[in-house]
Amino acid sequence: MVSGLYGDVFVCENSRISFIPDSSVYTVTINDIEECFHCVCSYSVHTYQNSIRKGYVTLSGGHRAGIAGTAVCDEKGVSSIRDISSINIRISREFIGCADSLFNRIKLNGMKSLIIAGPPSSGKTTVLRDLARLIAGEEGGFQKTVIIDEREEIAACSNGLPGNDIGISSDVLTGYPKKESILQAVRTMAPENIIIDEIGNVDEAAAIEEGLNTGVNFFLSVHASQKNELLRRPQIKKLLNTGAFKNIVLLSDRKNPSQISAVLSADELGL
């Protein structure tokens, strides 16, 4: 099945596409899934074992393959995935210029930390990537920016070289766990700004708080489609309570990717 802005389509055995899952639609076999899994891992499962444990593999170019199967657990948690039943490949796109209006707003406000929220596939990573390009490029006066790219989706580094335009003065920490990398970036890279994708827990928020105390601006994204969802997330509450994040940009849905639907102020959220 292929999903896109035009809806869902199915691939038939004769390589044509169909809008309905009828008998001509190709049924994927277990062997196909296995071969596809090894292929997305570049025939090197050991290289991707950490991300496989988290249920995904990042492909070269920043594309992401989500893996569904049966978890193999040990005392530390999920150690591996077996009996892979489906793979969801998300194609990453670089959309230059999608953060222009947001960047102008940030510039007007005097470069303050910002949270970008949105539902899945709303373009959070795309906006962050373009924001990095602007801040660390000529438009932003080549500000020293560290991109914490745990899932290798923002910069899409291959052999240490970024595959996307992320600005001249960007440093990329690829594959690091967010919490450790925030502290490492602050201590060793002397950044003016740090860009992080998908803040997931309170520990990461605590590391950001520590970073904020050193005078670094943070531009980060979180999963949340509405104001209420934002307020229900403890890590957002923790971040807003620091007083460093004055605004939250809410992105639209998957049908209008990278579009700003609202800009909420911290006061408006009652925090």
Partner 1 sequence: MRLAGGFLLAASAVFCGFYMSDIVEKRCRVLNECISLVRYISSLIEYSDEPIKKIMQKAASSNEYKMLTFLNFTADADISQGFEKVWSESIDMNNGKLLFSPKINELLKSFGNKLGKTDSAGQKELCNYYIKQFEILFSASNEKRKEQKRLCRVSGCAAALIFLVFVI
- Shortest separation between residue 81's beta carbon and partner 1, angstroms: 11
User: Minimum CB separation from partner 1 for residue 45, in Å?
Assistant: 6
Q: What kind and span of H or E run contains 85?
A: strand 77-90
Contact 131, 139 (CB under 8 A): no
CA–CA dist 136, 142 (Å, integer): 4
**Whether 218 contacts 193, CB under 8 Å:** yes
CB of 215 to partner 1, least distance (A): 35
The answer to whether 215 and 237 have CB atoms below 8 angstroms apart is no
Positions touching partner 1 (CB under 8 A) are 35, 38-39, 41-47, 49, 52, 79-80
Least distance in angstroms from the C-beta of 123 to partner 1: 29
Cβ distance 98 to 233 under 8 Å? no
Q: Which helix (H) or strand (E) holds 145?
A: strand 145-149
Q: Which is nearer to partner 1, 152 or 204 (CB)?
A: 152
Give the residue with the Cβ less far from partner 1, 119 or 175.
175
119 token code pair: 């539902």
Which residue, 78 or 96, has its beta carbon nearer to partner 1? 78
| Nearer residue to partner 1 within complex by CB, 158 or 226 | 158
In the complex, minimum distance from the CB of residue 87 to partner 1, in angstroms, rounded to a whole number: 16
Query: Which of 46/255 has CB closer to partner 1?
Result: 46
Nearest to 125 by CA among 101, 93, 102: 93
Between 34 and 203, CB nearer to partner 1: 34
Secondary structure tally for the chain: helices H, strands E: 8, 13
Minimum distance from residue 177 beta carbon to partner 1 (Å): 15
At what angle are helices 202-212 and 178-188 packed, to 10 degrees? 10
